[in-house]
Amino acid sequence: MRPWWLLLLSLSLQAQERPAQIVELNQLLPKANYDIRYVGSNNFIGRPIAGYEAPKCLLHLDAAKALKRVAVKAAESGLRLKIFDCYRPKKAVADFMAWAADPNDNAKKASYYPNLEKSALIGDYIAPQSGHSRAATIDLTLEQQNSSGQWQELDMGGTYDLFDPVSNTLHHDVNPLQRENRLMLKALMEEQGFKAYPLEWWHFTLAQEPFAALYFDFPVR
C-alpha cells in the first residue's frame, strides 16, 4: 500500500490534468446549443470567470454518453438541449467565492438575486466546492422551434442562474406550463441516470459519479 502522503500527492497532480475519460461533449453531441455562460460576460458576475478559456462542455465520458441519450429522447418530441455549464475548474469556484465575499459588487443583483442578500447566496447557490469540478454535473434547459423555425428556450418560469426560491424545481409560484416543462426536463434526465438538485431546476448530476472524490482544476480549453 502506498503511503498516505504519496496518495495525496497523486490526487493533487491528477486534479491539475485533464484525464482521458473527460471528453468534449461538443464533439460527441454537436447538435446541442452550447451557451457556456462563464467564458463570457453574460453571467451573474458580469465578466469571464477564471479557468474558462473556451466555450466548451467537458464531461466524464459516462455523463456525456448519458446526456447523448437524453438528447436522442428529447429529439423525439422536437426538442434539443441548451447547455450552460459542465465541468467547472476549482479556480472558477474560488472566483465565485471571492465575488460572493465582496459586499460592494452588486452590479447584477437585479437580474440574478433580486430578492436575496448577497451573503445568503453562500451555501445553497455558491459554495467552496462544486460538484461541477468532478465533471459529471451539468446545467441545461430545453429548446423547441417556433413557427419561423427559430430555436427558443421552453418557459421554465425563471432564467438560468436566477438565485431565488422561484428556481426551486417544485416552487408553487410557477404556472402549470412552467411546472410541466421543468418536470419534463427532470424526467428526461432522471431516465438516463442523472439526479436533480431541487433548488435549481437546471442542475443535474450523474448519480453514479466516476470521480466522486476528486475536484479538478485544469482549465476549460
Q: Which residues are catalytic?
A: 200
**Cell numbers standing for residue 217:** 482544476
Grouping H, G, I as helix, E, B as strand and the rest as coil, residue 151 is strand
How far is residue 99's CA from residue 128's CA, in Å, rounded to a whole number? 12
Contact of 84 with 140, CB cutoff 8 Å: yes
- Whether 141 and 154 have beta carbons less than 8 Å apart is answered as yes
3-state helix, strand, coil in the chain (%, to 5): 35, 15, 50
Q: Which residues contact 187 (CB under 8 A, 6 or more apart)?
A: none
